[in-house]
Amino acid sequence: MAAVEETDFVIVGAGIAGLRAAIGLAADGARVLVVTKEALDESNTYYAQGGIAVAMSGEEDVALHLDDTVNAGDGLVNREAARVLVEEGPLRVEELLRWGTEFDREGGKLMLTREGAHSRNRILHAHGDATGAEIGRSLLRHARAVEKITLLEWTTTTDLLIEDGAIAGVGLLDRDGQGTRARARAVLLASGGAGQVYSDTTNPAVATGDGIAMAWRAGAEIADMEFYQFHPTALSLPGVQRFLLSEALRGEGAYLRNARGERFMERYHPLLELAPRDVVARAITREGMGPAGEALPVYLDMRHVTKVDPATRFPGISKFLAEHGLALRRDLIPVRPAAHYLMGGVRTDVHGRTSLPRLYAAGEVACTGVHGANRLASNSLLEGLVFGARAAEAMRVEAGYRVQGAGYRDAVRGDTRAAGSDDSARVLRELQQTMWEKAGLLRDAEGLGEAGEAIRAFEGENLMGFDRPQVELRNLQTVAALIVRSALARHESRGAHYRNDFPKRDDAQFGKHSLVSKGRDVTFVDFQRTEALA
């Protein structure tokens, strides 16, 4: 890897938030380095199936979108952030349309569908069930045409560089194990989520919480880590990856049935299959528990739906199911929840500013409080667009000085050429299983305490190599510890965080966001009453 001496801005991650920010930063000629640890088309963005939620029908729709977002967030949404999301969303989607994003149309008009907890049809989709991939393709094509944007693939960001209390760049590790450092005026974390902290996840292998862990080590504030959203419907077949079965299936009329063939959602929520995700996920989990603790199947049933052709509306899902002998039109499809989206992350304001000077964050790695305790379906892609653009504008305006000096060429310390060891692979599997069993969909103090002890034991194994697998493992250990600490501190049940030992919501004590940083215990704060970040 050629050493990068200096640049104006570094962006970690090439998903929707990172690419949109890069385009914004380069608009006035700034040099932008976008770093991604695999190919440019391997991110959570490209796996997003269902669509992007956006209020394209005027002020009334915008107001309803805000209400839906707040209601889904179970009393914890930062209303300022949610207002920014829904009001600026239409402008950002119009921008995508100008850049050639091919959303599905019918009779020349954009097709809109509905998903869980939305009060009306407002979900745009592309190529049926490949919305994220299409948006990513459009943004990447646009970014590649901008001369000042450098796209660096197969490069892992290992840590943030700190000078005089401010972020000054990043440490990098290429696929050959060679290390270097890149200096910059400011750094944007757009590195996505951390689904690989759980054994069952819809996330790709790259989702290892790198940005959150790096920000934590640098001293940034981390918020709402107890709120990990479990998507209700992932394919549940022995030996097969937890493939996402989009909420749009239920938006088109699919039912959920238990082992007795009964629809059961009427016992849990008046919106039935289109209830908020946390409600549906827990309902499926409970229906899948037999009287003696044995696992029972739960199914997605689309056999009765005639208004759409599943193979046409959901080509990617239909193709994957066909590879395993299943068809939406013919079969009951076995499902179970899987870790899907982290509502928490690096705390930011609505301009992407973190608590550390010259460090910004946007997308799933960040926590503005926009999702509260439970993200509204299909708000994630919109979040990346809106807050990626906002972070870019703040960085451009606020980083009003240029990098001085020749930059760094010295190698990052550590055994950069070592391959991932058998020990690190074993520890990763044990960590993921521990988190699934002890800190997953249903939690209590005993299980969370056991998870915390196990994480400390894993950290004590002292796997100190410096290849990418071990960098990722250490990041996941950090993320796991933050999830457990935050979940132990919240003595209530709210949204995606459910405590069997504290099953009620407690607004008086916990109607606030959790906040933690190095050397400090978990505290609870009201984002809308705290001062702006650095």
Active-site positions read 277
Is the CB of residue 141 less than 8 Å from the CB of residue 133? no
Q: Which residue has the tokens 């003696």?
A: 292
| CA angle, 481 then 482 then 485, to 5° | 85
Q: How many CA atoms lie within 13 A of 29 on its CB side?
A: 1
Instruction: Please give the torsion angle defined by the CA atoms of residues 429, 36, 240 and 433, in that order, rounded to the nearest 10 degrees.
Output: 20
- Per DSSP, 499 falls in state B
Alpha helices in 165-243 (DSSP H): 210-218
Beta-strand ranges (E) seen in 197-284 are 222-223, 228-235, 255-257
Q: Which residues of 433-460 are buried (b: 16+ CB within 10 A; e: fewer)?
A: ebbbebbbbebbeebbeebbebbeebbe
Beta-strand ranges (E) seen in 351-505 are 359-361, 366-367
The span from the CA of 387 to the CA of 464, in Å, is: 35
First-to-last alpha carbon distance for the chain, in angstroms, is 33
- Per DSSP, 353 falls in state B
The span from the CA of 343 to the CA of 227, in Å, is: 6
Q: Report the amino acid identity of residue 135.
A: I
The span from the CA of 302 to the CA of 314, in Å, is: 12
